[in-house]
Amino acid sequence: MHPLVLVAVGGAVGAVARAVMSAAVQARWPSLMPWGTIVVNISGCLALGLLLGSLESRPQLAPAWRSFAAVGVLGAFTTFSTFELETLALLQRDALPAALVNVAGSVLLGLLAVWTGHAVGRLV
């Protein structure tokens, strides 16, 4: 299968997964804070770290399948532009503390999740 087709199919999977997870989290914990986006971004960081860490010892996996998962699925799943838009919305509501928690929490937890996922992925 052509690599771009795999990326497109992965993108469809990731976009649907993002919509479902984000809506489920936001419904479970309704709040001014965009918890759905935060959970999607942090779990996407963890998944990307796990994937890339585990692939370091598996060079035999075709690059097209790596692109399917990393670029397609996880690229569509994580939502940086939505994160930025929701942060702007918090600022426009004069919710500076919530905006700062959103930015700092997403960046720090995302970095921790990628690092953890990568470390665990290297072990499997």
Q: Is the separation of the CB atoms in 6 and 64 below 8 Å?
A: yes
Q: Is the pLDDT of residue 110 over 90?
A: yes
Q: Is the pLDDT of residue 37 over 90?
A: yes
Chain position carrying tokens 């996996």: 61
DSSP string covering 82-122, please? HHHHHHHHHHHTT-HHHHHHHHHHHHHHHHHHHHHHHHHHH
pLDDT tens readout for residues 48-101? 999 988 888 887 878 888 899 999 999 999 988 789 989 999 999 999 999 999
- As a dihedral over the C-alpha atoms of residue 120, residue 110, residue 62, residue 15, rounded to 10 degrees, the angle is 130
**pLDDT computed for residue 52 by the predictor:** 86
